Each structure stands twice: as structure tokens, then as C-alpha cells.
A and B are shown apart, each in its own frame.
Chain A
Amino acid sequence: NAGVTQTPKFQVLKTGQSMTLQCAQDMNHNSMYWYRQDPGMGLRLIYYSASEGTTDKGEVPNGYNVSRLNKREFSLRLESAAPSQTSVYFCASSEPRGGTTGELFFGEGSRLTVL
């Protein structure tokens, strides 16, 4: 049982390049999230998907797009990377329905550097 898997774990981009961060969960969760964490800071929500087929903006959505490809997968795309997007990106999932703890399960993070 892998939990939440993120790829790639490390990536270096040049300003203006595009890339997609992939996230997959095998826990049959309905909700998935993308966070970013800058040095010395807490996690800030970029986008979330409450269920398959829906996505919503979080606290810091500018410069990003997301796709909830199916129930398992939630991708984050940077169309034109900027140095300000240098960060560690975390994907998470949760099962919000009654009878569960509602806890978030996080991946190990994707470390992105934009030069």
C-alpha cells in the first residue's frame, strides 16, 4: 500500500519552462490537494479537488493549473515557471466522509528549483 506517490521528487527548470507534477493515491480517497512550502514557512494550499471532476482554488493558485484525471490522480502544472515558484510541493488526499478520521495523507514532496 503506497499511500500518496508524487513524481518527480526533484526537478530543476529554467524560467519560462513548463512541467507537470504528478500525484497518485491508492486509498480510494475522494479529496486531493496540492500545497507548496517555502523555506521556514508553513504549507499553503494551491488547489484542491473535493471529488473526481471538481477542482477549486486555494490560497495561492496563480501560475498553476490542475487536473483531476480520475479518482486516483491529481496533477499540478506550471505553464511558465518563475523563480518565485521554487518550493517544495506536497500532494495530499483525504476521505471526508463520516466514519473516518478525515485526516490528510501526504506524499513525500517534490522539490522544484526554477533558475
Chain B
Amino acid sequence: DAKTTQPPSMDCAEGRAANLPCNHSTISGNEYVYWYRQIHSQGPQYIIHGLKNNETNEMASLIITEDRKSSTLILPHATLRDTAVYYCIVRVRGGSQGNLIFGKGTKLSVKP
């Protein structure tokens, strides 16, 4: 599975959109981009995933560049409860499930 690069931390004002970038320049054609978040010291929680099209669900939107070398997770109206560490990982969805690399993620702080 390819590795990802994320900024270590970001701040966002409550009510504003939070845009979290992720670089995955070595992504393979059959690898999906997944986003998870970890609130405080709880177990990570799945947010969204995509292959090449933009995706949206009730939690967030995922924008993947046309060359698939980077993506952005968008929380449209960040709340204080969105303060967490956000992880971007790339993996093959239906194949081997080995060695999923989480990295250190981006610590998002949502401020009043």
C-alpha cells in the first residue's frame, strides 16, 4: 500500500469549512483513498473513501485530483466535536489487507 503525507496540524474556526490535504503521489490504479478520524484516545472512526470521483456523505466530502496524487477532505461546517486527528490512507479495497499504514495524521483543532 502506498504511503501518504499530511500536515501535522491545522486550525479551523467553528462553523467554517475545514479542508484537510493529503498527498499520495505513489498511489496505484486500484488503490482507494480512505479517511479516518480519531477523537481523543478513542478507536479511529471511518469517514469516507473514494477511487477517483469526488464523494460526499453525511460527514464529509472527498475531493480527489484528476491525477489521483492528492486529495482533500472537506468538513463543510466544522464544530468543536470535529476536533480530532484525521488520517488519510490508501489501500486496495478488495485485495490483500496487509500492512495498512496510518502515519501520524493531521491534528485538527476547531476553535470557537
Bitwise, A27-67 to B at CB < 8 A (1) or not (0) is 00001010100001111110010100000101100000000
Q: Which residues of B lie under 8 Å from residue A104 when comparing CB positions?
A: 36, 44, 46, 100
How many residues of A are counted as interface, with CB atoms below 8 angstroms from the partner's CB atoms?
31
Interface residues of B in 49-96 (CB under 8 A from A): 49, 87, 91, 93-96
Main secondary structure of the interface of B (DSSP, over half): loop
Known: A42-B102, A48-B98, A58-B98. 20 other contacts (CB 8 A): A33-B97, A41-B104, A42-B87, A42-B103, A42-B105, A50-B96, A50-B97, A59-B101, A90-B44, A94-B97, A98-B93, A98-B94, A101-B49, A102-B32, A102-B94, A103-B34, A103-B49, A104-B46, A104-B100, A107-B43
How many residues of B are counted as interface, with CB atoms below 8 angstroms from the partner's CB atoms?
25
With A96-B94, A102-B91, A103-B34 known as contacts, the answer to whether A58 contacts B99 (CB < 8 A) is: yes
Residue among B41, B91, B97, B101 facing the most chain A CB atoms (10 A cut-off): B97
- Closest CB in chain B relative to A105 CB, distance in Å: 7
Please determine whether A109 and B97 come into contact, CB atoms closer than 8 angstroms. no
- Closest CB in chain A relative to B74 CB, distance in Å: 19
9 A-B pairs closest in CB distance: A106-B43, A103-B46, A102-B93, A43-B102, A42-B102, A42-B104, A31-B97, A42-B103, A106-B44
- The chain A residue sitting closest to B8, CB to CB, is A40
With A42-B103, A102-B49, A102-B93 known as contacts, the answer to whether A108 contacts B43 (CB < 8 A) is: yes
Please determine whether A96 and B93 come into contact, CB atoms closer than 8 angstroms. yes
Query: B45 within 8 Å of A by Cβ?
Result: yes
Q: Which residues of B lie under 8 Å from residue A58 when comparing CB positions?
A: 98-99
- Closest CB in chain A relative to B5 CB, distance in Å: 12
Query: A88 within 8 Å of B by Cβ?
Result: yes
Please determine whether B97 and A88 come into contact, CB atoms closer than 8 angstroms. no
Bitwise, A87-100 to B at CB < 8 A (1) or not (0) is 01010101011100
Please determine whether A88 and B41 come into contact, CB atoms closer than 8 angstroms. yes
- Closest CB in chain A relative to B4 CB, distance in Å: 10
Give the contacting residue for B98; candidates A56, A105, A107; CB below 8 A: A56
